[in-house]
Structure 1
Amino acid sequence: MTEPGVEVSVVLPAYNEADTIEETVRTTLETLDAFLPAGSYEVIVAEDGCEDETPEIAARLAAEDDRVRHFHSDERLGRGGALNAAFRAAEGETLAYFDTDLATDMRHLEQLIESVRSGDADLATGSRWIPGEHADRPAKRGIPSRGFNLAVRGLLGSELRDHQCGFKAFSREAFETLVDEVEDEHWFWDTEMLVRAQRRGFTVEEFPVEWTPKGDSKVDLVRDVFGMGSQILRCFWEFNVSPYANRRTGTVVGVLLSVVAFALMFVYIDVGAFVDAVGDADPALVAAGAVVYLTSWPLRGLRYRDILAELGYRESTWFLTGAVFISQTGNLVIPARAGDAIRAYVVKARRGIPYTTGFASLTVERVYDLLTITVLAGGVLVALTAFAPDTVAELAATAAGEGLAGQESQAVQQAVVVASAVGVIAVAAVVAIVWSARSDTNYVRRVVEWASDDSYTELVASVFEQFVGDIQRVAADGRAFARIGATSIVIWTIDVATALLVFLAFGLDVALVSLLAVGFFAVSVGNLAKVIPGPPGGIGIYEAAFAAIVSTLLPVSFGLALGVAIVDHIVKNVVTVAGGAASMTWLNVSLTEAVEGDEADLSADAAPVEE
């Protein structure tokens, strides 16, 4: 039992510290005894699911000295979780902790505790980046730390210089006010505490400390990238976006983004070339192309429905068509096809489908798209090789940029290289997915554990396991794999048919067989080429590849082929933008609700498929 007069509680978070914990406890007691009255403090060893002899050592120390308490956990709580539990059980009104490796010089402990105990500050923290003391930080630790602190200051509005130093103290009032607001229970815990304290108006004292690195710390992929980085973004969203967003603003912003998407098309193309191209085209056939292209969207919704059904969720085709429209509109606005993530938000917000399943279903869809257009392009190329080898030679010359102007040549060469690489990757991805679906070995966990030994590993491994498992479930069902593949072929055939109608709109007199072959090849290669992130709207590399192939295989000039490509792409983008705007209005999308996963406002609950 602790004495009733305890004023200060010092927590030592410990995980597998058998070699050092006894010396750390004794050093802590000696330091506290030098400036605090006897019986006014306690030292709590918060050992967090240790796998060595730390629990036995801590229990012995607590039995030998009534100033020492032992907080035990059979399972890993995470650094923040262990601190939360220990501080809640602590007796003191002043709560402090520091890393058990004693990297921070213990002569600073009195200043840390007295800053809070005296009432001058609500929180106190040591800093390795304030001039005044020495912090021997090697580059592999210093550079990531400075980057992290810069991100916290810039994105979260903190005024502190060092958020990660494991040398902090809190008043009981500040801790109890903040602890339920802090969501992270791992390495970001103390950073979030400091940031929220400043936003709440608590006084935070930051002072320089002498700090010497101990042990072999390293930049950890899982902890630093997936853990710390995602937590900074979570807090940024909560502090700066969520308070100002609701369903109404989400819908308005979505519609405005659709307008921006259309406007961006005219930033990345030659407006004069576009006007000339449209002036030469038959508007009725261009409109017919738009109508034909529109028919592919319900098929996209149907395909996505089949993918989700394999993952255990039944949803309506029309709802999913709207979700696809919204995400594709986002891709026209947001570089690097990051708009795909919006669809995961929509199906989570409106149907409660987990984010891992949402992203896995998107991955499956993308693999099918890439595989389909690779097969279409490859099929035409094989046919040309067999029946028209001279034409293949001409294509090779065009791919090398022969006969084209400097800028056109560069764009065409880039398109060919990218399309070839993406095609190979698509085929390899399918082989890997199908092979892994038939393997019992858990490669996901092996890779994650190889990349990290941090407490985040279990969390991240489980998320990736679910993600990969969802992909494998679709690949393991041969009939579903074939059915979804057949739908993909129809979708991309309609895409090609749209381009062919635009061809005809320009009055080109070309044999139908040649037009079909060239259309499939040009559209497929163009779409493979634009997979690599480019400017919003995707204008540029698609047109370059399309025009180069058409002008090589058909009696059409490069300039005229470029005009056809521009009109074809704009027709498709206009349909996408219009459908996206209508779908955002219909579904009343709020990205805030989607990110927070507010299930109270779901329009319908997810319905797992019964086996």
Structure 2
Amino acid sequence: MMYDLYSLALYAAISLLLLFSLFCLVLCKVSSPYPNVLRLDEEKYFVDPVNGNRVKFPSLDDKWSVHLSVIIPAYNEESRLPPMLEECLEYLSSREPNFLYELIVVSDGSRDKTVQVASKSRNSNIRVLDLKLNRGKGGAVRLGVESCRGALILFADADGATKFSDLSKLEDSLRDLVEGDYRKDPSKVSEALAVVCGSRAHLEAESVAKRSIFRTFLMWGFHLLVKTFGVRDIKDTQCGFKLFTRRSAQLAFRSLHVERWAFDVELLYIAKCLKIPIAEIAVNWTEIEGSKIVPVLSWLQMGKDLFLIWLRYRLGAWKLRTKVD
């Protein structure tokens, strides 16, 4: 009887190993080494908010022409977007007169009035990228980054949950990483390698106290998956407030495959693999109603994505761009 159980266990183990090997083989066959980025012709243009002309977006390959680009992914954000834009514009416009910036609102296939709301102010610093097909947050951020002009590039959530003035904390940290100030020497800093992540990790104890046991369990499960299959030393990978030098963005976003919620983890995984310096800085954060995350389904999707990110890179099915084209 014992021999039969041992044989059965051995047979099951061998079968599972063969199935996993077959899965890995199929995964390698169907995976593209580098991301295939879809962009429709009409998505390559924006409407000039001042004169109404249709103008082609620049390319991330172009030399920087403003100090800072703020990329704001937005899906059905007609209600939460206006306060965020107002806070952002108020803060950036208060800087020295020669500070140049732009806001790129990426409407990710929105079905509400997100595009109209973003265009309403007719502010020359705002450009709207109107995606006709929904890509997911990561896909929207990527196309916004590809269309920007900044020496530094920040992506910030449309809900305004992070206090925008905390940008100065990220800038201070980046200054230490690259040993330069992008407001004084943008060309040097633009070509440096650095990423600074806003973090809500210091607020975790407070947030756990407000969550249900089930949601807390899901959160800790996700953290475990991130540490196992993603990055170990970044406490909060999901905060939507991250600052990149232009060259770092070129390298990281052009290797990015995941277009939905787990894209932050892949970005940081890529940065780690390319030895791009990363810093994590605590920011002020307030939960805003209207989140698009569905607790169970979104976290299950992210968990699956995290495992497949790790596995594809381990198998060599996905590869990294190690230089700017």
Q: TM-score scaled by structure 1?
A: 0.37
Q: 2:269 aligns with which of 188, 195, 220?
A: 195
- Alpha-carbon displacement from aligned partner over 1:479-538 (angstroms, at most 9, x marks no partner): xxxxxxxxxxxxxxxxxxxxxxxxxxxxxxxxxxxxxxxxxxxxxxxxxxxxxxxxxxxx
- C-alpha contact 1:9 1:43 (8 A) present in aligned 2: yes
Q: Residue 87 of structure 2: SS of its match in structure 1?
A: helix
Q: Which residue number corresponds to residue 229 of structure 2?
A: 155
Q: Which residue number corresponds to residue 221 of structure 1?
A: 296
Distance in 1 (alpha carbons) for counterparts of 2:89 and 2:173:
19
- Alpha-carbon displacement from aligned partner over 1:144-203 (angstroms, at most 9, x marks no partner): 333212211123343111111111111111111122222101111111101211121111
Distance in 1 (alpha carbons) for counterparts of 2:251 and 2:229:
23
Distance in 1 (alpha carbons) for counterparts of 2:170 and 2:299:
27
Letter in 2 for 1:161: K
Q: Which residue number corresponds to residue 47 of structure 1?
A: 107
Q: Residue 66 of structure 2: SS of its match in structure 1?
A: coil
More helix by share: 1
* 2:127 paired with 1:59: no
- Residue 164 to residue 135, structure 1, CA distance change in 2 (3 Å): farther
Distance in 2 (alpha carbons) for counterparts of 1:197 and 1:158:
13
Q: Residue 211 of structure 1: SS of its match in structure 2?
A: coil
Letter in 1 for 2:281: F
For 1:539-554, list aligned pairs within 5 A.
none
Q: Which residue number corresponds to residue 235 of structure 1?
A: 309
Q: Which residue number corresponds to residue 518 of structure 1?
A: none
Distance in 2 (alpha carbons) for counterparts of 1:114 and 1:56:
35
Q: Residue 255 of structure 2: SS of its match in structure 1?
A: coil
Q: 1:74: Cα distance to partner?
A: 1.4
Distance in 2 (alpha carbons) for counterparts of 1:39 and 1:167:
20
Q: Which residue number corresponds to residue 430 of structure 1?
A: none
* 2:157 paired with 1:99: yes
* 2:253 paired with 1:179: yes
Q: Could you tell me which runs of 5 or more consecutive residues in structure 2 were left unpaired when the two chains were aligned.
A: 1-47, 49-56, 59-63, 180-192, 319-325
Letter in 2 for 1:204: I
For 1:193-342, list aligned pairs within 5 A.
193-217=267-291, 219-225=294-300, 227-240=301-314, 242=315
Distance in 2 (alpha carbons) for counterparts of 1:232 and 1:195:
10
- C-alpha contact 1:136 1:212 (8 A) present in aligned 2: no
* 2:169 paired with 1:111: yes
Q: Which residue number corresponds to residue 211 of structure 2?
A: 139
Q: Which residue number corresponds to residue 129 of structure 2?
A: 71
Which of structures 1 and 2 has the bigger CA Rg? 1
Letter in 2 for 1:45: V
More strand by share: 2
- Residue 157 to residue 98, structure 1, CA distance change in 2 (3 Å): closer
Q: Which residue number corresponds to residue 84 of structure 1?
A: 142
Q: 1:219: Cα distance to partner?
A: 4.2
Distance in 1 (alpha carbons) for counterparts of 2:118 and 2:207:
30
For 1:462-541, list aligned pairs within 5 A.
none
Q: Residue 160 of structure 2: SS of its match in structure 1?
A: coil
Q: 1:33: Cα distance to partner?
A: 2.7
Q: Residue 43 of structure 1: SS of its match in structure 2?
A: strand
For 1:23-42, list aligned pairs within 5 A.
23-35=83-95, 37-42=97-102
- Alpha-carbon displacement from aligned partner over 1:422-466 (angstroms, at most 9, x marks no partner): xxxxxxxxxxxxxxxxxxxxxxxxxxxxxxxxxxxxxxxxxxxxx
Q: TM-score scaled by structure 2?
A: 0.66
Letter in 1 for 2:239: C
Letter in 2 for 1:14: A
- Residue 70 to residue 157, structure 1, CA distance change in 2 (3 Å): closer
- Residue 160 to residue 44, structure 1, CA distance change in 2 (3 Å): same
- Residue 69 to residue 149, structure 1, CA distance change in 2 (3 Å): same
Identity %: 28
Distance in 2 (alpha carbons) for counterparts of 1:77 and 1:164:
18
- C-alpha contact 2:106 2:130 (8 A) present in aligned 1: yes
- C-alpha contact 2:84 2:158 (8 A) present in aligned 1: yes
Q: 1:48: Cα distance to partner?
A: 0.8
Q: Which residue number corresponds to residue 244 of structure 2?
A: 170
Distance in 1 (alpha carbons) for counterparts of 2:96 and 2:73:
22
